Amino acid sequence: MNTEIRALEPTAVWNKFADLNAVPRPSKKEERVIQFMVDFGNALSLETMTDAVGNVIIRKPATAGMEDRKMVILQSHLDMVHQKNKDTVFDFDTQGIEMFIADDWVKAKGTTLGADNGMGVAAIMAVLESTSIPHPPLEALFTIDEETGMTGAMGLEGGVLQGQILLNLDTEEDDEIDIGCAGGIDVTATRSYKEEPVDGATFKVIVEGLQGGHSGMQIHEGLGNANKIMNRLLYMASSKHGIRIAAIDGGSLRNAIPRESYAEIVLIGDTAAFKSDFDALTRIIAQELALTEPELSMSLSSCSPIQMVMELNAQQALLNSVYAAHNGVYAMSAAMTDLVETSNNVARVEVRDGNIKIGCLTRSSVNSAKIDLAQTLRAAFDLGGFEVSLDGEYPGWQPNPDSEILKVLESKYEYLFGEKARVVACHAGLECGILGKNYPHIDMISFGPTIKGAHSPDERVQISSVQKFWNYLLEILKDSPRK
């Protein structure tokens, strides 16, 4: 399995990626991978430190003859999104990722791969370990908790970093140079409800088989959202057949488009009529999403007896609020062609034991538009009697088309590959905007290998693209700017 991965070119990078993927590294549980990186730096006798929040910094002197170059910061995040298929038996807290090769791609067996951002981490490790790669003075910054709050970047105090140029290795198309990104904010709606007994037939409603994916980079692709689909089914069932909701468990992480949702209900009305209307609506939804979600499955199954359900007023408030909550692209950018400006992901819906919790991630490259959409969501949930909090806000990264390092990257890309790179901004949340608050003098850029399906079990990284990315990185380091 991983023996095949280690034999891929460039072997220095793939071996480090295999080493990294043997270490469990969920967001907010990075103790093991932090120690792994500290041990790595110390084993190379390089200056190695951790800051107050757990970010790891490793410094390496310039190779001979390159001492006059500006210090370059190589930056990637240590944590990874943990998602798995329903039928995959896997413990992210104890197991290493199981990888395999499929044509020109490396994938994982039923789980996320961790190429986001493990390929960037592995490339930095390979540079730090090498004794033959020409490079300027280097400062490797490995941040924590990028995927669930960017608390590593937020917690990095001013005055720690010494470099003047930052290469963020966390984008996912190898022909792109990224010079800007969206900011984000978490919108969380909560309320309690009274439970009451009710008699009737009990069912489990199942929505699964969706692709899922990155709630920023893929929000414009028209992918199905399991929470919105489930709500549509339950809204119909409630309004036409008097169903009562006992529990809902939909989605997982805020930055992942929800792939699955499960609900337990009690049917008050006629079973045959309910099943007929349910089947009719599922056929309509399947037809709507036939091109983007061919594996979508929506089904009913009998379940064990249900003792208590949500009071009717709270149920109606829940269904109306989730229906009203915007999901997907809200606005496209007027400044950059084909760039999503503002979006929302209705990421998580939990209903059980008298409590409702709904989690959204709102993104925008325009801060005022981000807040406006967050307030729109707040208003929708307010009408349903929810308490709404806006937390975890992080800034976007404003493009600088006059960047010195951008000119280097554009020139090197054309020299190596015979065509111009695409200079873009992305709708994902990169750490550059946050780091720039305490380090406004640092010239930042982002690039990386081609990764598809990030934040889902279909995540994969292109083997040939990793080779391209590696050659590009080495060329950039070799001709980095002088002081």
Amino acid occupying residue 42: N
Angle between helices 226-241 and 271-288 (to 10 degrees): 150
Beta bridge partners of 167: 74, 445
147, 81 Cβ separation under 8 angstroms: yes
2-181+396-478 has CATH 3.40.630.10 classification: yes
Six-digit token string for 210: 């969706």
CA distance 352 to 310: 9
Write down the pLDDT at residue 398.
Answer: 86
β-pair type (340-352, 261-267): unpaired
| pLDDT one-digit tens code per residue, 386-412 | 999 999 899 999 888 899 999 999 999
CATH code of the domain made up of 185-394: 3.30.70.360
Spans in the chain with pLDDT lower than 50: none
419 is catalytic: no
Q: Give 77's strand partners.
A: 143
The pTM score is 0.82
Instruction: State the SS3 of the chain.
Output: CHHHHHCCCCHHHHHHHHHHHCCCCECCCCHHHHHHHHHHHHHCCCEEEECCCCCEEEEECCCCCCCCECCEEEEEECCECCCECCCCCCCCCCCCCCEEEECCEEEECCECCCHHHHHHHHHHHHHHHCCCCCCCCEEEEEECCCCCCCHHHHHCCCCCCCCCEEEECCCCCCCEEEEEECEEEEEEEEEECCEEECCCEEEEEEEECCCCEECCCCCCCCCCCHHHHHHHHHHHHHHHHCCEEEEEEEECCCCEECCCEEEEEEECCCHHHHHHHHHHHHHHHHHHCCCCCCCCEEEEEECCCCCEEECHHHHHHHHHHHHHCCCEEEEECCCCCCCEEEEEEEEEEEEECCEEEEEEEEEECCHHHHHHHHHHHHHHHHHCCCEEEEEEEECCECCCCCCHHHHHHHHHHHHHHCCCCEEEEECCCCCHHHHHHHCCCCEEEECCCCEECCCCCCCEEEHHHHHHHHHHHHHHHHCCCEC
Q: Which member of 30, 79, 170, 174 is catalytic?
A: 79
**What does DSSP say about strands 72-77 and 165-168: parallel, antiparallel, or unpaired?**
parallel
Query: Kindly report the CA angle at 282 between 278 and 286, in degrees rounded to 5?
Result: 175
Comparing CA positions, the residue from 70, 69, 68, 50 lying closest to residue 58 is: 50
Would you kindly state where each structural domain of the chain is located, as residue ranges? Answer: 2-181+396-478, 185-394
Question: Annotated catalytic residue: which of 30, 116, 146, 341?
Answer: 146
The whole-angstrom separation of Cα 160 and Cα 171 is 24
Q: Is 443 a catalytic residue?
A: no
φ, ψ of residue 287 in degrees (nearest 5): -70, -40
**How confident is the model over 14-65, as pLDDT tens digits?**
999 999 999 999 999 999 999 999 999 999 999 999 999 999 999 999 999 9
Beta strands 308-310 and 195-197, pairing class: antiparallel
